Amino acid sequence: MNEMTQIKHHLTDQILIGYSAGTLPEAFSLVVATHLSMCDTCRASAQAYEAIGGSILDTETQTTLEADALAGTLAMIAKGSIATKPTVVSDVPTPLRDYVGGSLRDVKWRSVGMGVRQAVLKTSKTATARLLYIPAGAIVPDHGHRGTELTLVLQGAFRDETALFSAGDVEVANEDLNHTPVAEIGEDCICLAATDAPLRFNSWIPRIAQPFLRI
Distance separating alpha carbons of residues 33 and 5, to the nearest angstrom: 18
Domain for residue 2, yes or no? Answer: no
Q: How confident is the model at residue 68 (pLDDT cuts 50, 70, 90)?
A: low
Residues 82 and 130 in one domain: no
Structure confidence by residue, pLDDT tens digits, 71-126: 554 454 444 444 434 333 357 999 999 999 888 888 999 988 778 899 999 999 99
CB-CB contact of 53 with 46 (8 Å): no
Residue numbers of the domain that contains 71: 7-99
Residues 120 and 79 in one domain: no
Residues 110 and 204 in one domain: yes
Residues 89 and 191 in one domain: no
Q: What is the pTM of this model?
A: 0.77
Residues 86 and 142 in one domain: no
Structure confidence by residue, pLDDT tens digits, 145-163: 788 999 999 999 999 999 9
Residues 108 and 209 in one domain: yes
Sheet order of strands, 110-113 included: 110-113, 116-121, 128-134, 189-195, 149-155, 170-173
Q: What are phi and psi of 109, to 5 degrees?
A: -80, 150
User: How many domains would you assign to the chain?
Assistant: 2
Distance separating alpha carbons of residues 205 and 134, to the nearest angstrom: 18
Q: What pLDDT is attached to residue 67?
A: 58
